[in-house]
Amino acid sequence: MHIDRYAPSPTSDLHLGNLRTAMAGWLLARREGGRWLMRVEDLDRARVRAADGTERRQLDALRRLGLEWDGEVVRQSERLELYRAAVASLPTYECFCTRREIAEASSAPHGGYRPYPGTCRGLSGAERSRRRDERPPAIRVDSGGAEFTVIDATAGEVTGPVDDFVLVRNDGQFAYNLAVVVDDIDMGVTHITRGVDLLESAPRQAWLTRQLGGSPSRYAHIGLVVNPRGERLAKRDGAVTPNDLGLEPAEAVALLASSLGLGPCRSMDEALAAMPGDQRFVEGAVWSEGTLSPSR
Ligand code: GLU
Determine the 3-state secondary structure of 125 from DSSP. helix
pLDDT given for residue 99 in this prediction: 85
Q: Are residues 96 and 164 in the same domain?
A: yes
Q: Are residues 59 and 104 in the same domain?
A: no
What CATH number did the domain enclosing 97 receive? Answer: 3.90.800.10
- pLDDT, one tens digit per residue, over 220-263 is 999 999 999 999 988 778 779 999 999 999 999 999 999 999 99
Q: How many CB atoms lie within 10 A of CB 229?
A: 8
Task: Report the number of distinct structural domains present in the chain.
Answer: 2
What CATH number did the domain enclosing 250 receive? Answer: 3.40.50.620
* Residue 93, φ and ψ in degrees, nearest 5: -150, 160
Contact 42, 7 (CB under 8 A): no
The answer to whether position 195 is within a domain reads no
The answer to whether position 261 is within a domain reads yes
Block mean pLDDT (10 aa), the chain, length 296: 96 94 97 97 80 90 98 96 98 94 72 85 95 96 95 94 96 97 98 95 97 98 93 84 95 96 96 91 89 82
> Which residue has a Cα nearest atom 6 of ligand 1?
7
Q: Is 235 a catalytic residue?
A: yes
How many angstroms separate the CA atoms of 25 and 153, rounded? 12
Whether residue 176 is annotated as binding a ligand: the answer is yes
Ligand 1 is surrounded, with C-beta below 6 A, by 7-9, 41, 180, 194, 198
Q: How many CB atoms lie within 10 A of CB 187?
A: 17
Q: Which of 153, 168, 183 is the last residue of a domain?
A: 168
The answer to whether position 204 is within a domain reads no
CA of 198 to the centre of ligand 1 (A): 8
Structural domain that includes position 70: 3-78+223-294
107-142 burial code (b ≥16 CB/10 A, e <16) = eeeeeeebbbbbbbeebeeeeeeebeeeeebbbbbe
Residue 152 pairs with which residues in a beta bridge? 156, 219
Annotated catalytic residue within 45, 235, 263, 291: 235
pLDDT given for residue 234 in this prediction: 84
pLDDT given for residue 296 in this prediction: 65
What atom of ligand 1 comes closest to residue 6's alpha carbon?
Answer: 8
Q: Residue 222's closest CA among 22, 34, 73, 51?
A: 22
- pLDDT, one tens digit per residue, over 54-91 is 999 999 999 999 999 999 999 999 999 999 999 999 99
Q: Are residues 256 and 281 in the same domain?
A: yes
How many angstroms separate the CA atoms of 228 and 88, rounded? 46
The residue to mutate among 54, 194, 205, having the most atoms of ligand 1 within 8 angstroms of its beta carbon, is 194
